[in-house]
Amino acid sequence: MAQHIVLDRVSKRFPPARRGGDEIVAVDDVSLAIEQGEIFGIIGYSGAGKSTLVRLINQLEPVSAGRITIGDVPISELRGKRLREQQTGIGMIFQRFNLLSSRTVAGNVAYPLEVVGMGRAERRRRVEELLEFVGLAGRADAYPEQLSGGQQQRVGIARALAASPQVLLADEATSALDPETTAEVLDLLARINRELGVTIVVITHEMEVITRIADRVAVMEAGRVVETGSTYDVFTRPQTATARRFVQTVVRALPEGDELQQLRAQHEGRLFTISFTDAGASEARVFGALARAGIDFNLVHGGVDDIQGRVYGLLTIAVRGDAATVDAALAQVGAGVTVEEQR
């Protein structure tokens, strides 16, 4: 796939909050290549620099160092009219929707089209088409306050798509929504990506957003990108402590410390952890091998997760029976499933 948004050693520094204080390095020497047509997630703790990074991509903030290109346009080097032209090719949606309360739904969606000077009749057609696309065809004359949060975000999305952008930036776009509405908005973003081929960058602290729609993910910490990879790889094999902490909130982790002690106290026998990815293997092979050998076991921890539609299993079982028989049975399990004893 072609590279679409490329950050080359980008930094953003803000002046110190107080006189004599330290300069704030919000983004610190970040290099990143986001591919054409992918959904790219950015995660990290509050203050890690995610919002700043996104504001650099659309140049709401100038970079302090480095270079950003979108397609073949060096956007970080443009100013004035040429920058504004490029910015219309980048849509943005926000956590708080940022709609104009004095304008109707149609008026909000039309706003960016008025700014670029599109004529009234064409504008009307485009607004209709956009509202249809986001599933709000009947609500053109409503005011934002008459809509649910999910509907307001769909207006925000229609407005962001108005100028047919090639890039859509979503800054915590579902963080103010309930789980059901979040799922609807994520489905809409996935559809925009699939049907319109728009490259989407999502910043979020909600890991479900990433496992549901992001093809790849970057983990930020203190202004730096500390880890990047496919969502599946980062979530099944996190390399940094920060990534591990995020991943564990959605993907079941191995029992450790107190939890492991408790499992030992509650269950007789040896504890084994079974892990497998989506290469056609599953826990059924382990269960089958134990059952055939007449070995008694039960599932005590973990489960099977879905990451971007792919399976990841990490489960712990307590196994009772003669040690040699258990070892022999587990030796039969074969490739694709890893079985490890928790000692």
Ligand X SMILES: Nc1ncnc2c1ncn2[C@@H]1O[C@H](COP(=O)(O)OP(=O)(O)OP(=O)(O)O)[C@@H](O)[C@H]1O
Residues at the site binding ligand X, with contacts judged by CB under 6 A: 14, 24, 26, 44, 46-52
Provide the Cα torsion 88, 93, 94, 97; round to 10°. 100
Q: 3-class SS at 264?
A: helix
Q: In 129-175, where do the E strands start and end? A: 167-171
Question: Which residues have C-beta within 8 Å of that of residue 143, sequence separation ≥ 6?
Answer: 101, 103, 104, 105
Residue matched to tokens 């990841």: 312
Q: Least CB distance from residue 219 to ligand X, whole Å?
A: 11
Nearest residue (CB) to ligand X, 36 versus 64: 64
Q: Least CB distance from residue 59 to ligand X, whole Å?
A: 14
What does the H/E/C string look like for 107-121? HHHHHHHHHCCCCHH
Q: Which helix (H) or strand (E) holds 179?
A: helix 179-196
Q: Least CB distance from residue 81 to ligand X, whole Å?
A: 24
Contact 298, 261 (CB under 8 A): no
Nearest residue (CB) to ligand X, 46 versus 102: 46
Phi, psi (degrees; rounded to nearest 5) at 284: -60, -30
Q: Least CB distance from residue 234 to ligand X, whole Å?
A: 17
Q: Can you tell me the distance from the alpha carbon of 193 to that of 4, in angstroms, rounded to the nearest whole number? A: 14
Q: Can you tell me the distance from the alpha carbon of 309 to that of 324, in angstroms, rounded to the nearest whole number? A: 38
Q: Least CB distance from residue 278 to ligand X, whole Å?
A: 31
Q: Least CB distance from residue 254 to ligand X, whole Å?
A: 28
Contact 61, 55 (CB under 8 A): yes
Q: Least CB distance from residue 15 to ligand X, whole Å?
A: 7
Nearest residue (CB) to ligand X, 205 versus 310: 205
What is the C-alpha radius of gyration for the chain, rounded to an integer number of angstroms? Answer: 25
Contact 142, 104 (CB under 8 A): yes
Nearest residue (CB) to ligand X, 174 versus 236: 174
Q: Can you tell me the distance from the alpha carbon of 190 to that of 173, in angstroms, rounded to the nearest whole number? A: 13
Q: Can you tell me the distance from the alpha carbon of 14 to that of 16, in angstroms, rounded to the nearest whole number? A: 6
Nearest residue (CB) to ligand X, 54 versus 307: 54
Q: List, edge to edge, every strand of the sheet that includes 65-70.
A: 24-35, 3-14, 65-70
Nearest residue (CB) to ligand X, 54 versus 290: 54
Nearest residue (CB) to ligand X, 26 versus 63: 26
Q: Least CB distance from residue 153 to ligand X, whole Å?
A: 18
Q: Can you tell me the distance from the alpha carbon of 61 to that of 28, in angstroms, rounded to the nearest whole number? A: 15
Nearest residue (CB) to ligand X, 21 versus 294: 21
